[in-house]
């Protein structure tokens, strides 16, 4: 019985459903010597249960128990036993309780900073404030959980004061661009009763030193400020507070009118000012430590000061003044742009942020932070650094990143993001010809600003994996780490995360490292290359391929691709002039095609498909090759993961395996769609003869099979089906059969891949037979398992692949696919591929 209890307490029998993220405290080998050296008691120098120091004490207890099976009592009264205790508290609390000054040991700490010492008898974790002490406790536990027993003594301080996350949660419980289930905060217009998940989220965030969460969507509903919802927000803040996490609120600019019943929301109107002052005071009455507001104004249909011919600065300062007495800040989004006309060669959405904000520099109140997306358009797979960072020298700024993979595979593709983020954070804008790294601008260092920092759109949901995918959590983890110290190395942060998430096994470490580090380049390769942007459907889901959707609309995410040429001319000399928004050295680099790096060529220049890159390849051949290479890399993720089968618990292994298999299939859909599209448009042949001419010797097009109850169906966009055609059942209640005799394939063992479409609005079934023997069957239920934005169409979002491995086939065997439609899903099939081992079709 004791043994069982011990196992339970170790967490060995706990479900590995992802809920604890990287805070699992899984057992680590520790011999007797190691065990004896561990602290046997914890002293948390604050006895108030809601204080972060108290929480740190409990966390240390839980960690020691989980990692080593060692029970440590937590005391609060005195300085503890000088030997074998771990003491956690603020520097002040420590000095008081322990009667000793820390002056000669602990350097001056900045807000939220901490000092950790495992030297000497006692482990000491001292924060500049309570939050810092909690961060230190998590740091110590992270070392132990990774089997790191080294003796250390160091102080660490944050890169910037603002280290927030944004949630785009709607009050009805849905989440805009969220792929991990429903909101953990809201439901039916109000805050949920049970805030357990909110507290668990705060715990995860605190462990990576995130100090603020804006809980509702920037496309804000004014009723977030109803009395009932203010009370609800108060309850959320109450569960955040013990973790040192502050709550922020997104506002709807028109609230005084829509919620308050005023006849105006003019930011200079006295009644409007009074309304905001009053509501802000009410919030602070309930939430004295509220972090502040986040505002999206005059953007994508959101109301703002332009309605009254007021400036964005006047709009921002309205909130700044209401918050100022309470110490709150306004995060004011720079994502402001208008719809444009593509027939205007000089029109450019990328120029909008600088155009709107440049002249406002210096007009924002001191507690305003302008929150700037990393690139000038919108979270694409590659963008140049937003030039706005160079223009706001008398305004505090923050960078906005996306942990949620809106344009990057929506957590159904593995994409480890820090290497992408680093392209911007480490970018030197050369303001006044001086070193001007973006990371030094947002920290306030470069322009001597008192505020600044970080925001990441995260969008966790009720799924136990938080983001919808276990592997995607490395992005949340690394975001927090980078916001604390942007000089951290993406790979070493990743490896900490791997050890904490999957344990210390060397092959797990090496394999997940390799997959993750290869994942962003692979995704860029099979989505959009050379700075052309993610070639996804921008009008609908932002998920699967649809390059044509970029152009011929007002959204300004144009490629300007025609039969001969592609790319946006953003030069000053002949284009939109966007390159001239950078400081001179950078502007000159991008203005000149010879000095523009290949990976941003099509962002800045409009060229022939046959233009030669620095690499020596033509643009179009680069497209072809990159897409084949990217999809090939994605296939290897599956085999790499399979090598870890016995090294990872079945629950997480199976879940991740399903997603990686899906990604491998979808990467081929991406590859084929994009290469086919540009081959069709440009008519430039692929030097390797893969693209066009339906050159897929291992495929059998479904429409070429003998069909009963199935009919050929042309697909839009055409490039999202092999040969532009799939088959669908002749009605929603007719069972379809597609049959073929395998005369063209030599006898042997094959992987049998079937490309089909899985729409929302139905769970069709498919069965596959070889000579009347059932080989396999599946259900079109990805909508229950994947979480990406769904599609009701047969297109690049719903296109998917299933593979049956190791199928023995003799020449002349008969292959039959049976499709049983359901709802609106007419059991669509694109093609079947018989793949000899190692062949990617």
Question: Any idea which residues carry the catalytic annotation?
Answer: 300, 378, 406
**Cβ at position 402, least distance to ligand GCW in Å:** 8
**Cβ at position 389, least distance to ligand GCW in Å:** 17
Q: Is 555 in the site for ligand GCW (CB under 6 A)?
A: no
Range 110-149, binding ligand GCW (CB under 6 A): none
Phi-psi region at 221: left, alpha or beta (left = phi > 0; alpha = psi -120 to 50):
beta
Q: CA-CA distance, 503 to 25, in Å (whole number)?
A: 10
559 vs 737, which CB is nearer to ligand GCW?
559
218 vs 840, which CB is nearer to ligand GCW?
218
Q: CA-CA distance, 535 to 523, in Å (whole number)?
A: 11
Q: Is 168 in the site for ligand GCW (CB under 6 A)?
A: yes
219 vs 355, which CB is nearer to ligand GCW?
219
Q: Is 219 in the site for ligand GCW (CB under 6 A)?
A: yes
Q: CA-CA distance, 525 to 400, in Å (whole number)?
A: 24
- 2 secondary structure, DSSP code: H
Q: Is 179 in the site for ligand GCW (CB under 6 A)?
A: no
β-bridge partners, 59: none
Q: Is 176 in the site for ligand GCW (CB under 6 A)?
A: yes
676: which 2 tokens?
A: 């086919």
**Cβ at position 547, least distance to ligand GCW in Å:** 18
836: which 2 tokens?
A: 């000899």
Range 700-759, binding ligand GCW (CB under 6 A): none
Q: CA-CA distance, 81 to 65, in Å (whole number)?
A: 19
β-bridge partners, 754: 802, 832
**Cβ at position 457, least distance to ligand GCW in Å:** 7
Per-residue mark of binding to ligand GCW, 355-384 (x: CB under 6 A) = -----------------------xx-----
One-letter-per-residue 3-state SS of 264-296: CCCCCCHHHHHHHHHHHHHHHHHCCCCCEEEEC
819: which 2 tokens?
A: 């499709």
**Cβ at position 371, least distance to ligand GCW in Å:** 10
**Cβ at position 398, least distance to ligand GCW in Å:** 14
Q: CA-CA distance, 3 to 6, in Å (whole number)?
A: 5
Q: Is 169 in the site for ligand GCW (CB under 6 A)?
A: no
For ligand GCW, how many residues bind (rule: CB under 6 A)? 10
Q: Is 266 in the site for ligand GCW (CB under 6 A)?
A: no
* Environment class of 341 (CB within 10 Å of its CB; exposed 0-12, middle 13-18, buried 19+): exposed
State the sign of the Cα–Cα–Cα–Cα dihedral 786, 524, 177, 459. Answer: positive
Coil/strand/helix, residue 354: helix
Q: Is 174 in the site for ligand GCW (CB under 6 A)?
A: no
Helices (H) and strands (E) in the chain, counts: 22, 29
105 vs 176, which CB is nearer to ligand GCW?
176
**Cβ at position 420, least distance to ligand GCW in Å:** 16
Annotate 430-466 with b (16+ C-beta within 10 A) or e (fewer). Answer: bbeeeebbbbbbbbbebbebebbbbbbbbbbbbbbbb
Q: What share of the chain is helix, strand, coil (3-state, %, to 5)?
A: 35, 20, 45
Q: What angle do CA 124, 129, 131 make, to 5 degrees?
A: 85
Residue nearest to ligand GCW (CB): 378
- CA 367 to chain CA mean position, Å: 28
**Cβ at position 522, least distance to ligand GCW in Å:** 23
379 vs 757, which CB is nearer to ligand GCW?
379
167 vs 255, which CB is nearer to ligand GCW?
167
Binding ligand GCW by CB under 6 A: which of 162, 218, 318, 360?
Answer: 218
Contacts of 639 (CB under 8 A, 6+ apart): none
State the sign of the Cα–Cα–Cα–Cα dihedral 827, 833, 839, 841. Answer: negative
Contacts of 344 (CB under 8 A, 6+ apart): none
87 vs 214, which CB is nearer to ligand GCW?
214
296 vs 430, which CB is nearer to ligand GCW?
296
296 vs 382, which CB is nearer to ligand GCW?
296
Q: Is 296 in the site for ligand GCW (CB under 6 A)?
A: yes
255 vs 371, which CB is nearer to ligand GCW?
371
Nearest 5°: phi and psi at 541?
Answer: -100, -20
Q: CA-CA distance, 470 to 472, in Å (whole number)?
A: 6
To the nearest 10 degrees (0 to 180), the angle between helices 506-526 and 650-682 is 20
Of 485, 480, 522, which Cα lies nearest the Cα of 497?
480
348 vs 400, which CB is nearer to ligand GCW?
400
497: which 2 tokens?
A: 């995360």
**Cβ at position 248, least distance to ligand GCW in Å:** 15
**Cβ at position 335, least distance to ligand GCW in Å:** 5
**Cβ at position 168, least distance to ligand GCW in Å:** 5
Q: CA-CA distance, 824 to 730, in Å (whole number)?
A: 12
CB 789 within 8 A of CB 543: yes
538 vs 768, which CB is nearer to ligand GCW?
538
Q: CA-CA distance, 187 to 752, in Å (whole number)?
A: 44
Nearest 5°: phi and psi at 623?
Answer: -55, -50
Range 322-351, binding ligand GCW (CB under 6 A): 335
β-bridge partners, 757: 799
CB 298 within 8 A of CB 306: yes
**Cβ at position 542, least distance to ligand GCW in Å:** 6
Q: CA 300, 301, 302, 306: dihedral to nearest 10 degrees?
A: 100
- 205 secondary structure, DSSP code: H
Q: Is 164 in the site for ligand GCW (CB under 6 A)?
A: no
CB 396 within 8 A of CB 451: yes
406 vs 591, which CB is nearer to ligand GCW?
406
Query: Which H or E run contains 638?
Result: helix 619-642
Q: Is 177 in the site for ligand GCW (CB under 6 A)?
A: yes
**Cβ at position 370, least distance to ligand GCW in Å:** 14
- Residues at the contact surface with ligand GCW, assessed by CB under 6 A: 168, 176-177, 218-219, 296, 300, 335, 378-379
């Amino acid at each position: 019985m004791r043994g069982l209890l011990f196992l339970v307490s170790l967490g060995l029998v706990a479900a590995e459903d992802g809920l604890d993220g990287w805070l699992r405290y899984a057992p680590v080998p520790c011999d007797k010597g190691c065990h004896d050296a561990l602290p046997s008691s914890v002293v948390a120098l604050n006895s108030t249960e809601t204080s972060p120091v108290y929480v740190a004490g409990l966390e240390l207890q839980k960690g020691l128990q989980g990692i080593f099976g060692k029970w440590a009592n937590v005391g609060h009264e005195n300085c503890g036993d000088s030997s074998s205790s771990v003491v956690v508290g603020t520097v002040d609390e420590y000095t008081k309780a322990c009667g000793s000054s820390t002056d000669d040991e602990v350097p001056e700490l900045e807000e939220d900073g901490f000092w950790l010492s495992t030297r000497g008898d006692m482990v000491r974790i001292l924060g500049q404030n309570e939050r810092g002490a909690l961060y230190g406790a998590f740091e110590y536990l992270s070392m132990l959980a990774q089997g790191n027993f080294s003796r250390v003594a160091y102080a660490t301080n944050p890169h910037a004061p603002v280290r927030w996350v944004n949630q785009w949660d709607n009050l009805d419980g849905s989440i805009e661009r969220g792929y991990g289930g429903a909101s953990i905060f809201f439901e039916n217009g109000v805050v949920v009763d049970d805030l357990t998940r909110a507290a668990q989220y705060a715990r995860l965030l605190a462990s990576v030193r995130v100090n603020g969460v804006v809980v509702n969507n920037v496309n804000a509903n004014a009723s977030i400020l109803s009395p009932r919802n203010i009370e609800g927000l108060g309850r959320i803040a109450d569960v955040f507070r013990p973790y040192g996490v502050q709550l922020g609120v997104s506002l709807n600019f028109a609230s005084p009118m829509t919620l308050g019943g005023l006849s105006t929301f003019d930011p200079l109107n006295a009644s409007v000012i009074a309304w905001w002052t009053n509501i802000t005071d009410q919030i602070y009455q309930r939430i004295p430590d509220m972090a502040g507001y986040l505002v999206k104004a005059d953007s994508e249909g959101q109301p703002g000061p332009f309605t009254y011919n007021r400036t964005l600065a006047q709009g921002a300062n309205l909130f700044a003044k209401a918050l100022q007495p309470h110490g709150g800040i306004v995060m004011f989004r720079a994502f402001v742009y208008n719809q444009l006309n593509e027939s205007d060669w000089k029109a450019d959405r990328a120029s909008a942020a600088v155009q709107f904000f440049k002249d406002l520099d210096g007009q924002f109140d001191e507690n305003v932070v302008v929150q700037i997306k990393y690139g000038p358009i919108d979270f694409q797979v590659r963008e140049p650094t937003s030039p706005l960072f160079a223009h706001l020298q008398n305004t505090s700024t923050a960078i906005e990143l996306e942990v949620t993979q809106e344009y990057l595979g929506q957590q159904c593709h593995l994409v480890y993001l820090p290497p992408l983020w680093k392209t911007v954070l480490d970018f030197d804008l050369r303001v006044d010809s001086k070193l001007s790294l973006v990371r030094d601008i947002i920290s306030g260092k470069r322009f001597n600003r008192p505020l600044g920092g970080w925001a990441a759109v995260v969008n966790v949901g009720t799924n136990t994996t938080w983001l919808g995918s276990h592997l995607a959590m490395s992005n949340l983890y690394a975001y927090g780490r980078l916001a604390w110290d942007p000089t951290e190395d993406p790979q070493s942060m990743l490896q900490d995360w791997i050890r904490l998430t999957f344990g210390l096994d060397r092959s797990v470490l090496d394999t997940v490292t390799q997959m993750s580090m290869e994942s962003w380049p692979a995704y860029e390769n099979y989505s959009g290359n050379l700075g052309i942007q993610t070639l996804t459907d921008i009008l609908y889901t932002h998920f699967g391929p649809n390059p044509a959707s970029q152009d011929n609309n007002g959204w300004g995410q144009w490629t300007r691709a025609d039969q001969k040429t592609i790319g946006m001319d953003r030069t000053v000399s002949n284009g939109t002039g966007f390159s001239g928004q950078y400081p001179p050295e950078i502007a000159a680099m991008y203005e000149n095609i010879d000095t523009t790096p290949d990976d941003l060529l099509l962002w800045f220049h409009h060229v022939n498909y046959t233009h030669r890159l620095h690499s020596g390849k033509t643009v179009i051949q680069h497209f072809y090759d990159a897409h084949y290479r990217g999809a090939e890399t994605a296939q290897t993720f599956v085999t790499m993961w399979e090598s870890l089968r016995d090294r990872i618990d079945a629950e997480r292994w199976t879940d991740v395996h399903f997603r990686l298999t899906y990604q491998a299939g979808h990467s081929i859909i991406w590859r084929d769609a994009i290469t086919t599209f540009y081959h069709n448009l440009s008519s430039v042949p692929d030097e390797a003869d893969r693209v066009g001419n339906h050159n897929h010797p291992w495929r059998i097009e479904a429409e070429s099979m003998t069909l009963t109850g199935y009919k050929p169906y042309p697909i839009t966009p055409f490039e999202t089906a092999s040969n532009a055609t799939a088959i669908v059942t002749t009605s929603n209640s007719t069972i379809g059969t597609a049959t073929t005799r395998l005369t063209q394939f030599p006898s042997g063992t094959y992987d049998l891949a079937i490309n089909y479409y899985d729409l929302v609005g139905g769970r069709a079934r498919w069965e596959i037979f070889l000579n009347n023997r059932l080989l396999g069957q599946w259900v079109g239920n990805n909508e229950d398992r994947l979480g990406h934005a769904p599609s009701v169409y047969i297109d690049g979002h719903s296109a998917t692949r299933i593979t049956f491995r190791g199928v023995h086939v003799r020449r002349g065997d008969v292959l039959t696919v049976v499709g049983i439609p359901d709802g609106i899903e007419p059991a669509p099939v694109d093609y079947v591929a018989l793949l000899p081992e190692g062949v990617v079709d």
